[in-house]
Amino acid sequence: MNKTYIVKSGEIKRKWYIADAKGQILGRLAARIAAILRGKHKPIFTPHLDTGDGVIVINASQIKVTGRKLKQKTYRRYSGYPGGQREVKLEVMLERKPATVIHLAVQRMLPSGPLGRDLIKKLKVYAGDKHTLTGLKPIVLEAKK
């Protein structure tokens, strides 16, 4: 009889991926990044453990969206005070904080709770083509066609 193998925390080997967001569609890129952060691409995937790898995203300011999302999609936040709800359109958000757009898209695809908070720490997003993480041997994440 075959038994299911459960991976232990010390047996997980992590890699770093570099994803170039230039010309890629926001939702499709975010879904691939979320799967890598979660570890779903590995045969040792365990739903309740962090088996995923790290991802560095460059060129976040050159991401694409389809349809009329630039004008219609809004990001809402609330300060907790009366009248403290703020809305920002995607078009304005891409001009001011392009890294936040990708960060929020990926974060909202991850589980909420302690596991999701640990997973999102392995995501680094940069608006330009330079990143500050050194000493890593990253794997380039190619765009799917």
Residues of the domain holding 40: 22-63+93-141
Long-range contacts, stretch 94-100, CB < 8 angstroms, 24+ apart: 94/61, 94/63, 94/70, 98/60, 98/61, 98/63, 98/127, 99/57, 99/60, 99/125, 99/126, 99/127, 100/125
Q: Is 75 domain-assigned?
A: no
Q: Is 26 domain-assigned?
A: yes
**Structural domain tally of the chain?**
1
Residue-level pLDDT, tens digit, the chain, 145 residues: 788 888 888 889 999 999 999 999 999 999 999 999 999 999 999 899 999 999 999 999 999 999 999 999 999 999 999 999 999 999 999 999 999 999 999 999 999 999 999 999 999 999 998 888 777 767 777 766 6
Q: Is 136 domain-assigned?
A: yes
Q: Is 9 domain-assigned?
A: no
Q: Is 48 domain-assigned?
A: yes
Q: Is 17 domain-assigned?
A: no
Q: Is 128 domain-assigned?
A: yes
Q: Is 131 domain-assigned?
A: yes
User: In this structure, what CATH number is given to the domain that contains residue 37?
Assistant: 3.90.1180.10
Q: Residue 104: which of 23, 29, 30 has the closest Cα?
A: 30
